[in-house]
Amino acid sequence: MQVKDVDTSQHLPVMEYFYTIQGEGSYSGRASFFIRLAGCDVGCVWCDVKESWDMSEHPLQTIDFLLNEVVTSGTDFVVITGGEPAMYDLTTLVNRLKEQHIEVAIETSGTYPLLGAIDWYCFSPKKFKAPVDEAYSKASELKIIINHPSDFAWAEEHATKVSSNCKLYLQPEWSKQERFLPEIIAYVKNHPKWRISLQTHKFMNIP
C-alpha cells in the first residue's frame, strides 16, 4: 500500500490514537487527543516511533471511526502527528473535527504541502529531508530538536525564515537530555527569543 492508494476522504492509516496530555511545545500540559498516522519518509535516526514509518504495517481507520473516538473522549483539542501526517490530505478529517468545534493541531517536519485547515502548525524541521517553503509561513511554532552542538546554529537559520509571530522552541533529544539541557538553558538565557520544550509526558510516564 502506498500513499496514492489511500482515499483520505474516507480513511487514513493509523498507528495509534489516544487521549492524553500534550507533553511538549506551546500546548504542553493541555488535554489532547492524539491521532498518530502511519507512514514517514524522513528517516530521523533518533526517532522514538520508528514503528510508524511503514504505513503498510498499520490498519486503515475510517474518518467516521476516528471522529467517534475523539468526540467520545470529550476533548476540545486534537493533535495529528506521525510518522509524517502531512503526507496525506487531511481536509476531510479536519473539517469533520471542526464541525464538532474541536481545535486541530499538526506536528510535522514540513516536508509536504499541508492539505487541511489546521489551527496550529507545529513545524519541526529535520536535517534528513528538507522542508517545503510553505512550512515557514504556516508555522505557529518552530520546534528544533537539539541532538548535536551544531543544531543551535541550524536552529537560528530556520528562525530567520518563520514569521515574527512564530513561537521558537529548543528541545533536547530525549536520549541526550542530560548532555544538552544545560547547554540549552544557557543558550536560552543568552537568546531569550527562544523557549525550552521538554518531553514532559515521558516524565509523567504517559503516552
Which of 2.60.40.420, 3.20.20.70, 2.30.130.10, 3.30.70.100 is the CATH number of 3-203?
A: 3.20.20.70
The model's confidence at residue 186, banded by pLDDT at 50, 70 and 90, is very high
Q: What is the pLDDT of residues 10-43, one digit of tens each?
A: 999 999 999 999 999 999 999 999 999 999 999 8
**Where along the chain do its domains lie?**
3-203
Residue keyed to cell 473539517 = 95
Q: What is the structure's pLDDT at 1?
A: 62
Q: What is the structure's pLDDT at 45?
A: 84
Q: Please enumerate in sequence order all residues whose Cβ is within 8 A of that of 154, keeping only pairs 6 or more positions apart, or say none.
A: 127, 144
Q: What is the mean pLDDT of residues 155-170?
A: 98
Q: What is the DSSP letter of 131?
A: P
Average pLDDT of the chain, as a whole number: 95
What order do you get walking across the sheet with 167-172 strand by strand?
60-62, 11-21, 31-37, 77-81, 103-108, 120-123, 141-146, 167-172, 194-196
Cα distance between residue 48 and residue 175, in whole Å: 10
